[in-house]
A and B are shown apart, each in its own frame.
Chain A
Amino acid sequence: MDLSNSHLLDDAVVCTKVDAVINWGRQSSLWPFVFGTACCAIEFMATAASRYDISRFGAEVLRFSPRHADLLVVAGTVSYKQAPILKQIYDQMPEPKWVVAVGACASTGGFYDNYTTLQGIDEIVPVDVYVAGCPPRPEGILDAVVQIQKQLWREPTLKLRDHSGFKGKLDE
């Protein structure tokens, strides 16, 4: 190797941390799994369509297998009947993973304070971002993606995310 030319690399080498490089990549390639059940799912469809275009934020690769996804978007009401399915899907997603609760129902049960509706998905799975609205506008869902991108920068990449403080109602 001709070391006499090494000065040519001076401007081409950047020193950084592994975390920063990996998170830089993760930030623009979130793969959402859309757990869409109700009205909010229709607004998610609008978010994915060309006017709002979620691909501007690198999150357009919608995966319908939880094993391929790292962002669980729960859009819509989750009933007690649906809860074990939500938990199963969350458990099937590989780490690292993030969860967005879209809309009033997913966040708190909304105005369905009754015998059939789960009073917020955070009874079952840990939630990272809550989006207000019934349903939220597509911009709200896009904002949640940006929030996740910001949170993600703080994550150490060589360690698993710590969910040990969370215990869901359906966890053994």
Chain B
Amino acid sequence: MNSTAHYQPLLERFEAASFTVMMGEIPMIAAHADHLYRMVEHLRDEMGYAMLLDITAVDNLGFSHPGSSRFEVIYLFRHADFKRTMGLKVKVGNIDVGLPTISDLYGSADWLEREVYDQYGVPFAGHPTLKRILNHLEFVGHPLRKDYEITQGQYCTQTQDMMDEMKPLLDARGLEMERDNLMILNLGPSHPASHGTIRTLAALDGEKIVAGASEIGYLHRGFEKSCENHTYNQIIPYTDRLNYCSALMNNIAFAKTVEEMMGLTLPDRGIFIRVILAELSRVIDHLVCLAAGLLDMGGQTNYWYLFNPRNDAYDFLSKLTGARLTNSYMRIGGMTHDLYEGWERDLENVLKKVDKGIAESLQMIEHNRIFQDRLLNVSPVSAAEAIDHGFTGPNLRASGVPYDLRFASPHYYYDTFDFDMVVGSVGDTYDRLMVRFEEMLQSMRIIRQAAKNIPGGPINVPHHAVTMPPKKAVYTTIEGAMNQFKLVYEGVKVPRGEHYGAFEAANGELGFYIVSDGSGTPYKVKVRAPSFLHMAAYPKIIEGYQVGDAILTLGSLNIIAGEMDR
């Protein structure tokens, strides 16, 4: 699929380009900055790479040699068949000049380029609004540069009024504040419907939104910088707090990516446990999204009905992992311990309660006139727009695009389970919510099959350089003590190289682009966070709808700030 032949025309057309392969068979083409724009255009129009997955940079200060450039910018693309992934790597020759923007080719590039500018200081020539996105405007320096000290905090004293972003939007629409009687409404960041940390500025004509701009970064917690200062297993607790509504799933996505880099495959029992917990996390995540979304529209009873089974699921997870939300149950090469005696009964009880909660909630809303009138045809996103914005997960499927990593690149035996992909039709707020309802039922089908067929045997990779030795061996044998010491002190060693691994998380494709220098600590980690790109599209898709609609649209996109701001 990813053979060199596929890329031969591209390589011939752009001479300076060279072809390499990342770990996990993903092709990576090194391109020259002068050719970047035309190459990306070629990739999109001639070769069918319809989706820009991510843009990030690597600071080579640590291991660069004289003559080579310090910064490289990495672009990741996904083919329209949703099977092929490819990367493009461009060296930044002159940091003051930077690279040309591709934000007019892909909608998702807008915020991604801003992030690279903010974190690494690489400018993108021609970008419409190149300003900081995660860090505050008074921030000096670029935190992900290797020479920026991790603990170097900077106090922020002011908030920005964002009219510098709003003004061009109004100008482009031929609108004027005074003449057209517009009003500016600020929502957030501390607003009950803005999920705590999202700020949206809306220009209103009456109740109608004529232009919107969003500001994020209020929950930026420096995940990626922290990764560069911790061993691989120490990063697991940080991944919990990306999408904290489905922490286990982030654990699994990260551990799976690192295991792919090391060429490790889990024993079957370990894989089945991961599938069960990943799908349970998907159910919990959707329950929170729907409970909060329906609460936003005044359906408070749904909140009780959907939140209570979630508490039952947390009782199960507490018993299994010792924590409700932030479980940190996975490790590189497996997980901390096996399932407990009698877990099947507890899990089945949880599923029964979730079933009941969903049924009760659906009974109230499915044929409810108010529910339908408020959601149908509100902020629809067409399939083409969704792909252009880089949507993934339920939000993309709601738009009618049948793409799910569990089907597109089967892993963890997902191809052997009997379940359906849930696809919407028009991608409005109604579809986005209803897809989640149905997905929970499908996830429970998977859980029941996996729980029934789970094999016995070990759960962890039997490799002393990866997983901890049994406690008895640590205390009684010199090998055990040494292995334990090395693993704690140095961490799991990952071979030198780069890799992009992805997992179908509750909100969409949760990807990790990891660069390893061969040590126990990653050289660089970039999270491809689905919520980040969903949020980037939000101010565009609420345009033309009312303020009340915008609140429900935000709820239906299920923006999780921890994952968006990282």
Chain A: residues with CB nearer than 8 A to chain B? Answer: 34-39, 41-43, 45-46, 49-51, 62, 64, 76-77, 79-85, 89, 111-119, 134-135, 137, 169-170
Cβ contact within 8 Å between A119 and B325? no
Cβ contact within 8 Å between A115 and B192? no
Cβ contact within 8 Å between B561 and A42? no
B443 to chain A, nearest CB (A): 19
Cβ contact within 8 Å between A38 and B241? yes
Cβ contact within 8 Å between B192 and A82? no
- Within the complex, which residue of A38, A50, A111, A117 is in contact with B237, where a contact is CB–CB below 8 Å? A111
User: Which candidate, B60-68, B74-82, B145-153, B541-549, is the interface stretch facing chain A?
Assistant: B145-153
**Given A41-B196, A80-B136, A135-B326; A114-B153 close (CB under 8 Å):** yes
B220 on interface, CB distance cutoff 8 Å = yes
**Given A43-B324, A79-B220, A89-B190; A114-B225 close (CB under 8 Å):** yes
Residues of A within 8 A of B429 (CB): none
Instruction: Give the distance in Å from the alpha carbon of A47 to the alpha carbon of B227 in the complex.
Output: 32
User: Which candidate, B304-312, B375-383, B456-464, is the interface stretch facing chain A?
Assistant: B304-312
**Given A82-B218, A117-B221; A46-B307 close (CB under 8 Å):** yes
Residues of A within 8 A of B192 (CB): 34, 62, 64
Q: A39-B241, A113-B151 are in contact. List 4 more A-B contacts (CB 8 A).
A: A39-B562, A49-B303, A115-B148, A170-B155
Chain B: residues with CB nearer than 8 A to chain A? Answer: 134-136, 143, 148-159, 189-192, 196-197, 217-222, 225-226, 237-238, 241, 244-245, 288, 291-292, 303-304, 307-308, 310-311, 314, 324-326, 561-562
Cβ contact within 8 Å between B155 and A169? yes
Residues of A within 8 A of B190 (CB): 35, 85, 89
A123 to chain B, nearest CB (A): 9
A127 to chain B, nearest CB (A): 18
Instruction: Give the distance in Å from the alpha carbon of A79 to the alpha carbon of B216 in the complex.
Output: 12
Residues of A within 8 A of B154 (CB): 80, 115
B191 to chain A, nearest CB (A): 7
B160 to chain A, nearest CB (A): 10
Residues of A within 8 A of B244 (CB): 38-39, 42
Q: Which of A82, A111, A170 has the most CB of B within 10 A?
A: A82
Cβ contact within 8 Å between B324 and A137? yes
- Within the complex, which residue of A35, A41, A116 is in contact with B143, where a contact is CB–CB below 8 Å? A116
- Within the complex, which residue of B218, B237, B245 is in contact with A81, where a contact is CB–CB below 8 Å? B218
| Nearest residue, chain B, Cβ from A135 | B325
How many residue pairs link A and B with beta carbons under 8 A? The number is: 131
- Within the complex, which residue of B143, B155, B219, B222 is in contact with A38, where a contact is CB–CB below 8 Å? B219
Instruction: Give the distance in Å from the alpha carbon of A89 to the alpha carbon of B196 in the complex.
Output: 13
Residues of A within 8 A of B150 (CB): 113-115
**Given A36-B196, A43-B324, A49-B307; A79-B189 close (CB under 8 Å):** no
A91 to chain B, nearest CB (A): 13
**Given A43-B324, A82-B197, A135-B326; A170-B157 close (CB under 8 Å):** yes
Cβ contact within 8 Å between A112 and B189? no
| Nearest residue, chain A, Cβ from B247 | A39
- Within the complex, which residue of B135, B217, B222, B288 is in contact with A112, where a contact is CB–CB below 8 Å? B222
Instruction: Give the distance in Å from the alpha carbon of A41 to the alpha carbon of B148 in the complex.
Output: 31
Instruction: Give the distance in Å from the alpha carbon of A112 to the alpha carbon of B220 in the complex.
Output: 10
Cβ contact within 8 Å between B324 and A85? no
**Given A83-B156, A112-B221; A50-B196 close (CB under 8 Å):** no
- Within the complex, which residue of B218, B241, B304, B325 is in contact with A49, where a contact is CB–CB below 8 Å? B304
Cβ contact within 8 Å between A79 and B221? yes
| Nearest residue, chain A, Cβ from B218 | A82
Cβ contact within 8 Å between B325 and A85? no
**Given A38-B562, A112-B221; A50-B156 close (CB under 8 Å):** no
Residues of B within 8 A of A112 (CB): 221-222, 226
